Amino acid sequence: MAIPRRGLLDELRSVTRAATGAATPSKGPAPAGNANDLAPYTPASDALLGDIAKVVYEALQPGSALLDFGCGDGRVLRAVAKHAGALAGHDVPHLLGVESDPQAVAHAVDLLGRQADPPVPAGRAHVWWDDGSLDRASAEEGAPGAGCVGLGACSLCQAGGAPSPTPARLPWSQISVVFVYLSPKSNLQIRERLVARLLGAGPPADRARTIVSLRFGLGDRWPASHVRTLALIDPVAGEKVPLYVYTVDPAIGRLSTGQASPEELLALGPAVDGAAAPRNWNAEDEQRELLQRVLGVQ
């Protein structure tokens, strides 16, 4: 059965939403629906937060920042702050969140400021509204805005002179780890943009960055040499949950832009599925292949 491109993507969206469910958070209101949502609001299980925080924190480079893309109520950011605070001599990293629902932005900032245990230091946590493009980030006049824990102490807010909780752009040069918990389709949709932002962030250009994705991967064409898959145990749900840890370096950048040579593709080793060397990326083709595997359509 052939499915037109728009119909195929709509069908894939419904399949992935059904697969991920639509659980509500244990604390605070669920964000309202948003036409730009990249995934249903399905917060990470409390039982997994400690393991996620450990993996994310160990991937962070000294003095760098963590970005949670689609941060919801900020629970992963709070877990990382708690993990860092429990380590003697370790500072809480700069915690950045992006969320497409304005109500969730305010809720996350409120929880980071009042309910984080231990409290997140002033100026170390910042949450933006973004429409999913990774470009707007509260920069446009009239955008829903952003929030900061400790506005007066935040170097990001001070960058424009007078303190303002709406910096013009996400500080990609400071970000070494991006955490995502989206749907399979959404991962493919934002993958190239994430890689481009991380690699285009400025010197050192050869410094590898990391993307950590819960439950769903970033596509079968990612070379296996650049990904680790960890099995987290959720004792409440009684299941193993995969956590994918991806290395982003210039070779991945050339793969994402379709510029990797056949020799480089072979040098990268087999793809994640182990079938062959990775191919240059084409998100639409991968979405179509994903739908075919899920629904058995041609």
pLDDT value of residue 295: 67
Q: Encoding tokens for residue 41? A: 């609001």
Closest by CA to 110, choosing from 166, 28, 43, is 28
> Going from the N-terminus, what domains does the chain have, and what CATH number goes with each?
5-295 (3.40.50.150)
Alpha helices by DSSP H, the chain: 5-20, 46-59, 75-85, 102-114, 155-158, 184-199, 250-256, 262-267, 283-295
Q: Name the DSSP class of 205.
A: T
pTM to 2 decimal places: 0.79
pLDDT value of residue 38: 61
Per-residue pLDDT of the chain (298 residues; tens, 9 = 90+): 333 434 444 444 444 444 444 333 333 333 333 434 566 667 778 889 999 999 999 999 888 899 999 888 889 999 998 898 888 667 788 888 888 787 888 888 888 877 777 777 777 788 877 766 665 554 444 444 556 665 445 665 555 444 444 444 677 888 899 999 988 888 888 898 889 888 886 555 557 899 999 999 998 889 999 999 999 998 888 889 999 999 999 889 889 888 888 888 888 889 987 778 888 888 788 878 877 776 665 5
CA angle, corner 224, sides to 240 and 181, nearest 5? 45
Residue type (1 letter), 258? G
